[in-house]
Amino acid sequence: MPVEIPVEKWNGQVHQVKLGGAGGRKELVVGGENTLPFLKFEGNIPHRPAVAIEVVDQPPQGWAEPLVKAWGNVLQDPAAWAKKAAEYGADLISLRLRSAHPEEGNTGADHARKVVAAVLAAVDLPVIVLGPEVAQKDNEVLVAASEVGRGQRLGLGDCLDKNYRTIGATCLADGHVAIAKTPIDMNLAKQLNILLSDLGLPLDAILMDPTTGALGYGLEYTYSVMERLRITALMGDKMTSPPMICTAGEESWRQKESKATAGVPQSWGEQEQRAILWEKITAIGLLNAGANVIVLRHPRTVEDVKAAINKLSA
Amino acid sequence: MALTGIEIYKFLPKTNCKKCGFPTCLAFAMKVAQKTVNITTCPDLSAESRAALEAAGRPPIQLVTLGSDSKKLEVGNETVMFRHEKTFFHPPGLVLRVKDNAPADSLQQQVQAAAEYKVERVGRFLTMDGFAVENTSKDAATFAKAVEAVKSKSDLPLVLISQDPAAMEAALAKATPGRPLIYAANKDNWEKMADLAVKNKCPLAVSSNGALDDLTALVDQVSKKGIEEIVLDPGARDFGPSLSTLTQIRRLALKKNFRPLGYPVITFPGEAAASLDTEAMLAAQQVAKYAGIIVLDHFSPALVYPLLTMRLNIYTDPQKPIQVTPQIVQIGTPKATSPVCITTNFSLTYFAIAGELEAAGWAAWLVVCDTEGLSVLTAWAAGKFDAEKIAKSVKNFKIADNVSHRNVVIPGHVAVLRGELEEELPDWKILVGPREAVDVGGFLKQNWKN
């Protein structure tokens, strides 16, 4: 008796979003699938998830030892760091303009222009530029970054409900993609997409960041919000159909499990292995929930996550 | 698949005899459908009707129990594809594979380390669930001896791995009672393995590397022997095949009510992995995507702690807000001059603020108020996070005994409570913190003088 393989009939599909592909930059397309993550027996998945490596515009404060060890001197120089990231197999670079944070340097638009220009000159990969997560500073440095990268289809974020007009308009004017971030909530994610659409930004110029909870720190919330967003998109809701981006590296390396070198229970095991695995497992969980771009920190995570994506996409 | 009242009614005698205690057969059927009364309360139910009802009422994925009553592992009986649809019920068992030809000391050491392992997370102890003993030696006596050695160090449930019925019989003699899982019946040995499962009252794993058709045929054969508790091994090993095949099996069981594949699945992530980390990543995927029992080839704390955390996360009931215990939490090693911050006991809120304080390098006293698991704004709107409640927590937890200052930081979203709180806590100065946890580091840097 042959078993009939059950296949869902989805009416919708994830929007295709292109990054780079102009101004000498390599093209990267994510999204476009009309089925759940990696279910090739059911639908068409034209593009596999992409792996971004996070680069920070100044030597990062308080990064865990395994990260510092892995990257070494390039932590001092974002352009060299981005180059190294490309060698480690990044599909794109996620550049965080941390130095613009009022507490961590309070640099302004001029500095942002220089750093973004240096990174763009150093690699031909697509680049995402993220602000320091302080609304007014975000606007200042992201608008500057937008001008420098005009026509090169960067990603710009975070685009939040409180600054979506500025970031959305900049993306529209300079031809970039907005990283629309909302706090682990399906309706807020949809709402922000609607607001950006009303502004005139097309859905193929949006990546949704549903806010990443690391393993042990809210992963299950992100996981389920992503599954719900994806299922809703596949059922035909255009306003939940942009691809999703997850900052797995940043979130998992913030946690005690990744940072603590001493004074933790023996049952936590050896730090370096535990910390890297914390990032890897956060990543594999989110990829299975529908992440189209996963932003990572440790080179060994990049290697293993890329291998897993290849196997899942084969 | 649960039956409706009307469907159950069709099987009843329809005499309205009231012997069940209900006025009509239909009323009784409705109660049965709600699971408040057992169908056997009807004294006149025919044997055929009863069998039909029991078959129809069987869960779409069979519950399978390994181990003895005191240390048992229950897997299966899942009802949804996605955890947000309801919840996942039975976390997959994580068992460690050991080989029967390993030297006795090393075998016992491996077992002891994994059996004793426990790690605490949000007030719960997470542990391994059992051992899989493999008949690598192909020798029956060695296999039996290894099972004995494992049992001398752990009373956790066992999986016995051998293709040879004679070796399996020898091992079962040492492993029962204790309901080990027999792994596995295949197309060549299934009859003998099924007989052993019946004789020893053990669950049986059925393994087939071919298409699901072959697995289905094999399950049908062993079911006819009267075996109800079956575990499936569809042979899918690597990331891609595992995800596709396990998704298909779960869908067939839940959406098509396809009986022959309505059983939990056993996976072997180590067999497709070139490194320990890859094994753990694949196991993590299988935690989320539909494994019932996961056989690991390696054990170390750094490997299983993230994996057990993954399992805890995915199998948390999304219908219930997860709460942390209301208490004073010490972030880092706080001193008498360290900040006092107020938060709610919704786990995500708690993790956000605790994580940000930690990340910003602050040692602090975090006062977790009982808001019945609601976040800051929700709890405030529901009247569960007001000045009175915060004051009560500050007093009850005696935070004043721990610090030399009298400053307390409240979340920015409840800035409106400041005035009332100053009345409730006249000795304290109320500082309104940032709205978002991410800004707490910057806020303290500006506003807190150590």
The domain segmentation of chain B, as residue ranges, is: 5-57, 64-314, 327-447
* pLDDT at site B295: 98
| Mean pLDDT within A10-17 | 97
Q: Which residues are CB-contacts of B1 (< 8 A; sequence separation ≥ 6)?
A: B56, B60, B257
Instruction: Give the CATH fold of the B327-447 domain.
Output: Rossmann fold (3.40.50)
Closest of A45, A40, A34 to residue A235, by C-alpha: A34
* pLDDT at site A187: 96
* pLDDT at site B217: 96
Residues 191-230 on A with a CB inside 8 Å of B are 213, 215-221, 223-224, 227-228
By CA distance, what is B212's nearest residue in A? A3
| CATH, range A37-313 | 3.20.20.20
Nearest to A266 among B282, B301, B313 (CB): B301
Instruction: Give the CATH fold of the B64-314 domain.
Output: TIM Barrel (3.20.20)
- When scoring B239, B290, B366, B438 by the number of chain A Cβ atoms within 10 A, the one with the most, hence best to mutate, is B239
* pLDDT at site B2: 65
Q: Which residues are CB-contacts of B287 (< 8 A; sequence separation ≥ 6)?
A: B91, B92, B294, B307, B310, B311, B314
Q: Check: CB of residue A132 under 8 Å from CB of residue A98.
A: yes
Separation of alpha carbons B88 and B288, rounded Å: 10
**Right CATH number for B5-57 from 1.10.15.40, 1.10.3720.10, 3.30.70.980, 3.90.1150.10?**
1.10.15.40
Asked if A256's CB is within 8 angstroms of B302's CB, the reply is no
* Residues of chain A with C-beta less than 8 angstroms from the C-beta of B353: none
Min Cα–Cα distance to chain A from B120, Å: 9
- Tokens linked to B35: 């699971």
What is the separation of C-alpha B275 from the centre of its chain, rounded to a whole number of angstroms? 25
* pLDDT at site B139: 97
Does residue A269 belong to the interface with chain B, where contact is any CB pair within 8 Å? Answer: yes
Number of helices (H), then strands (E), in chain A: 11, 10
* pLDDT at site A99: 97
* pLDDT at site B257: 87
* Residues of chain B with C-beta less than 8 angstroms from the C-beta of A135: none
Residues 85-124 on A with a CB inside 8 Å of B are 101-103
Does residue A43 belong to the interface with chain B, where contact is any CB pair within 8 Å? Answer: no
Q: Buried b vs exposed e over B286-303: b needs ≥16 C-beta within 10 Å?
A: bbbbbbbbbbbbbbbbbb
Condensed to tens digits (0 to 9), the pLDDT of residues A196-230 reads 999 999 999 999 999 999 999 889 999 999 999 99
Min Cα–Cα distance to chain B from A254, Å: 6
* pLDDT at site B150: 96
What residues of chain B score a pLDDT lower than 50?
A: 1
Is B343 strand, coil or helix?
strand
Min Cα–Cα distance to chain B from A288, Å: 7
* Residues of chain B with C-beta less than 8 angstroms from the C-beta of A289: 288
Asked if A281's CB is within 8 angstroms of B284's CB, the reply is yes
Asked if B212's CB is within 8 angstroms of A3's CB, the reply is yes
Rounded to the nearest 5 degrees, what angle is found at the Cα of A225, between the Cα atoms of A224 and A228? 85
Q: Check: CB of residue A297 under 8 Å from CB of residue A249.
A: yes
Asked if A221's CB is within 8 angstroms of B352's CB, the reply is no
Q: Which residues are CB-contacts of B257 (< 8 A; sequence separation ≥ 6)?
A: B1, B60
Min Cα–Cα distance to chain B from A50, Å: 17
